[in-house]
Structure 1
Amino acid sequence: MPDAAAVTGATADAPRYTVISADCHAGADLLDYRSYLPARHHEEFDAWAATYVNPHEDLLGDTADRNWNSARRLAEQEADGIVAEVVFPNTIPPFFPSASLMAPAPTGTDFALRWAGLRAHNRWLADFCAEAPGRRAGVAQILLNDVEEAVREVRRTKEAGLTGGIMLPGTPPGSGLPELHSPYYDPLWAVCAELGVPVNHHAGSASPPLGDEPAARAVFMVETTWFSHRALWHLIFGGVFTRHPGLTLVLTEQGSGWIPGVLDMLDYYHGRLVATGARADTAEARFGAGLAASLDRTPTEIWHAHCYVGASFMRPHEVPLRHRIGLDKIMWGSDYPHDEGTHPYSRHGLRAAYADVPPTEVAAMVGGNAARVYGFDPTALARIAARCGPTTTEIAVPLTAPPPDATSPAFAPGASVRIW
């Protein structure tokens, strides 16, 4: 079977996919955040930056500028067949000891500084997105310790032109925050529903600290997606979508193959608890008490009405589940510029996953759904894709072997990559 490079030239007139990566990352070079902070924080920023030690190797090498070098980024994305992106944070915002939004902040002063740091990132991100009009949907950062402050930042970033919505932090055990199912967060859900702001819950921000031992790091890798999945059943059983029917939830970089089984499980518990909630003569009744009043549909029905998955580099073994997940719910992503992302082999990743999938279905998963959720203009992006997007014929060529120097788990043997 020929490699894609051998067929691209012969299929130049074939239709091209408009590829939107629903999972990319960016951030400012550390010192560049200073100008986005109020002057009253400059002295504190200088002191913080002077002693900060970056824990992330990918932010120290000669490829670090992929996070903020707009021209390089556009060129590399286009070479990879991608014409637009949803931009999550990557670099460290001012006054944080690490990238984690849940890093402990024991005092009000700490929280005030971290809010200032996140607002600086959001301001920088609005400018960064404006450098490529219509091609970047920036995801704003918030904290959950002060819901009123979060609501103000949602409104401000929406007005500033960020169209990617917000990144919802997790509430892992030990955070001291109310759980996500709590009515405490209703003002946040309300403003997001009112303004059409997607609520994005990205993997990695909901896990509790486990330590730095080899076993702890392995356990983190096993558990981190599960802790991120929790937002789904918290919001469903918390009645959030019933109270806020305009709310959209996107679960990003958490895989997608888990969704059908989890929805089956949630439907089972929903039916079981709603049925017993009306019967005082059962020991289980106390678990279902009041649940029927907060849920007007089954969890599966809520999923299909309100939820999406930023499936990132969708694994081949997940693709046969696409109809159960919902063809209109899946959004592919390259995870650029992370080492685990598919760049510069995104075309190979698309072939590995979608070679035998009908082109109309591929078009929805690699761009159409993301355009709808994040407000991209498909017509404008199609004009860019006409010169750099992968052709339908190219992606239909099965992948015979992964690129030898690829670092993405999309090509790892354990990811069930199909080899023909």
Structure 2
Amino acid sequence: MTTTDRDPVTATTGRDPATATADRYTVISADCHAGADLLDYKPYLESRHHDAFDAWADTYVNPYEDLLADTADKNWNSDRRLAELEQDGIVAEVVFPNTIPPFFPSASLMAPAPTREEFEQRWAGLRAHNRWLADFCAAAPGRRAGVFQILLNDVDEAVKEIRWAAAAGLKGGLLLPGTPPGSGLPELYSSAYDPIWATCAELGVPVNHHAGSASPPLGDEPAARAVFMVETTWFSHRALWHLVFGGAFRRHPELKLVLTEQGSGWIPGVLDMLDYYHGRLVAAATRASTAESKFGAGLAASMGKGPSEVWRENCFVGASFMRPHEVPLRDRIGLDKIMWGSDYPHDEGTYPYSREGLRIAYAGLPRDEIAAMVGGNAARVYGFDLDHLEPIAAKVGPTVEELAAPLKEPPADATSPVFAAGGRVRVW
């Protein structure tokens, strides 16, 4: 099967996430990636950094094969990107970073800066990416919600960048770095970050925490990549309980947290666990002094509502390409919380078989539920205008009939894990 012998795909939620426009869906991918070609960041740097950038770029060796391949321009070629996403049935996207920002050894925001000068250069590199991203999103009005980057080492500078990004129209919100062991930063539950949460809540800026952005360095031993795969989602999940137990949502009730590309099947079990510890520790704190009472001291007052209630009111999941085993949990996760994503242009993403990926997960579900998960929820969280997207979806979106048909055989050359073993691979 090729991508040219099928009807184009889209999913729509219409104005109401419980409706679809005509006979097609409006599909918004809540997980895509982009960035500038290395040298194209230079115009976005302040001129005082140009000589240092030239020296850095002359010796830089990109560690990522997909950014060296002929297809790397999917990250920055706006016309190609629009065409391929439409071909895949997608009309809008939330755009996370992908390429290496200036002065970084890799894409990791936690890469330590040995000197103050290097730290300042890395801030300049992130600002350059954010400004490039604003122009990239402006090249496709209403169809891209850019996710901007900050560092946590300087909260005042982070707040300034949040305000700039919101004014520049980067509706995808903030990419929250992790604070893995060895980072030297306060943990995410620390009140030191309150100015960041307050600014995001004030401006309606979503806080996104993406898989892979919170793991500690593991070295180059043969087992390192396997251990990274086992642990990376757990390190990413940590942001949830840090912010919940840290009381960020009590102090800033308008704050929105989105956990992206971390799977979704883990959420009900983790919420049960967090509710258990919350109830147990709060209860223990009311009893006579015991070893356990100390663990719960002050917890109820500092965090306010329980974890499940916070999830219902403040949190969302960028579930990327949902696996079939996760879909039956949608009511426990929250049907209004789930946002599908294609992970374009990554090899593990569903392109060019997003229609098939949607079918393997959602075939047989009620139309309004599919519409919410593939577009309506993302439109609400990231501020997409469904009236603007509807005419595009009417041309390229997957039909209701198409997504209703179960997928009998996955495409032979598909690379996304959603198709592995019939999509039964679990992501914990």
- With structure 2 as the length reference, what TM-score do the two structures score? 0.94
Looking at structure 2, the residues matched to 159 and 393 of structure 1 have their Cα atoms a distance apart, in angstroms, of 41
Query: Does the CA contact (< 8 Å) of 2:335 and 2:372 recur in 1?
Result: yes
Query: Does the CA contact (< 8 Å) of 1:3 and 1:399 recur in 2?
Result: no
Asked if 1:71 corresponds to 2:72, the answer is no
Asked if 1:128 corresponds to 2:136, the answer is yes
**Corresponding residue for 1:87?**
95
Asked if 1:230 corresponds to 2:255, the answer is no
Looking at structure 2, the residues matched to 5 and 55 of structure 1 have their Cα atoms a distance apart, in angstroms, of 33
Count of residues in correspondence between the two structures: 414
Looking at structure 2, the residues matched to 383 and 282 of structure 1 have their Cα atoms a distance apart, in angstroms, of 64
**Alpha-carbon spacing, 1:354–1:67, altered in 2? closer, same or farther (3 Å):** same
- Greater CA deviation, 408-417 or 93-102? 408-417
**Corresponding residue for 2:150?**
142
Looking at structure 2, the residues matched to 385 and 282 of structure 1 have their Cα atoms a distance apart, in angstroms, of 61
Query: Does the CA contact (< 8 Å) of 2:205 and 2:256 recur in 1?
Result: yes
Corresponding residue to 2:411 among 393, 403, 411:
403
Q: Which deviations, in whole Å up to 9, do the C-alpha atoms of 1:208-255 show, x marking residues without a partner?
A: 011122211101001000000000000000001000011000000000
Corresponding residue to 1:182 among 187, 190, 193:
190
Contiguous gaps of at least 5 residues in structure 1 = none
Alignment of 1:280-359 (within 5 A): 280-359=288-367
Query: Does the CA contact (< 8 Å) of 1:352 and 1:417 recur in 2?
Result: no
Alignment of 1:5-20 (within 5 A): 8=7, 15-20=23-28
Asked if 1:59 corresponds to 2:67, the answer is yes
Looking at structure 1, the residues matched to 88 and 250 of structure 2 have their Cα atoms a distance apart, in angstroms, of 41
**Corresponding residue for 1:392?**
400
Looking at structure 2, the residues matched to 414 and 199 of structure 1 have their Cα atoms a distance apart, in angstroms, of 33
Query: Does the CA contact (< 8 Å) of 1:3 and 1:400 recur in 2?
Result: no
Asked if 1:216 corresponds to 2:224, the answer is yes
Letter in 1 for 2:258: V
- Greater CA deviation, 288-297 or 110-119? 288-297
Looking at structure 1, the residues matched to 7 and 162 of structure 2 have their Cα atoms a distance apart, in angstroms, of 43
Corresponding residue to 1:242 among 235, 238, 250:
250
Alignment of 1:19-30 (within 5 A): 19-30=27-38
Corresponding residue to 2:282 among 257, 265, 274:
274
Contiguous gaps of at least 5 residues in structure 2 = 9-20
Looking at structure 2, the residues matched to 234 and 164 of structure 1 have their Cα atoms a distance apart, in angstroms, of 22
- With structure 1 as the length reference, what TM-score do the two structures score? 0.96
**Structure 1 runs (4+) greater than 3 angstroms displaced:** 2-9
Looking at structure 1, the residues matched to 332 and 251 of structure 2 have their Cα atoms a distance apart, in angstroms, of 26
Query: Does the CA contact (< 8 Å) of 1:4 and 1:397 recur in 2?
Result: no
Distance apart, 1:380 and its partner CA: 1.1
Looking at structure 2, the residues matched to 353 and 409 of structure 1 have their Cα atoms a distance apart, in angstroms, of 12
Looking at structure 2, the residues matched to 159 and 14 of structure 1 have their Cα atoms a distance apart, in angstroms, of 35
Looking at structure 2, the residues matched to 31 and 265 of structure 1 have their Cα atoms a distance apart, in angstroms, of 47
Looking at structure 2, the residues matched to 49 and 8 of structure 1 have their Cα atoms a distance apart, in angstroms, of 43
Instruction: Kindly report the root-mean-square deviation, in angstroms, between the aligned alpha carbons of the 2 structures.
Output: 1.8
% of aligned pairs identical?
Answer: 78
Letter in 2 for 1:166: L
Higher relative contact order (Cα pairs below 8 Å, separated by 6+ residues): 2
Looking at structure 1, the residues matched to 324 and 61 of structure 2 have their Cα atoms a distance apart, in angstroms, of 38
